[in-house]
Amino acid sequence: MPNTLDALRLNFSPDSLFLLNVCLGVIMFGIALDINIEDFKILLKNPKAALVGLLSQFVVLPFLTYLLILVWQPQASIAMGMILVAACPGGNISNFMSHLSKSNTALSVGLTTLATFASLLMTPLNFKLYASFYPPTMELLTDINLDEWAVIKTIFTIVLFPLLAGLAFRKWQEQIAKKISPIFKVSSILIFIAFVLIAFSKNYDLFLKYIHVVALLVLLHNAIALGSGYGLGQIFALSRRDKRTISIETGIQNSGLGLVIIFAFFEGLGGMALVTAWWGIWHIIAGLSLAFIWSKRKSLA
Q: Say what the pTM is.
A: 0.88
Q: Is residue 178 part of a domain?
A: yes
Q: Which residues pair with 253 in a beta bridge?
A: 90
| Position 120, amino acid | L
How high is the pLDDT of residue 7?
A: 66
Distance of CA 224 to the CA centre of its chain: 14
Ranges of residues in the chain whose predicted pLDDT is under 70: 1-4, 7, 11-16, 37-40, 185-186, 188-189, 192, 195-196, 198-202, 298-301
126: domain CATH number is 1.20.1530.20
Give domain status of residue 45, yes or no: yes
CA–CA separation, 64 vs 68, rounded Å?
6
pLDDT at 244: 94
pLDDT tens figures, 12-45: 666 667 777 777 777 778 777 777 766 667 777 7
Within a domain: 134: yes
Q: Is residue 300 included in any domain, yes or no?
A: no
Look at residue 280 and tell me if it is in a domain.
yes
Please tell me the total count of domains within the chain: 1
Q: 130 and 268 in contact (C-beta within 8 Å)?
A: no
Range of the domain at 133: 4-294
> Is 226 part of a structural domain of the chain?
yes
Q: Is 301 domain-assigned?
A: no
- DSSP sequence for 75-113: -HHHHHHHHHHHHS-B-TTHHHHHHHTTS-HHHHHHHHH
Residue 286 placed within a domain: yes
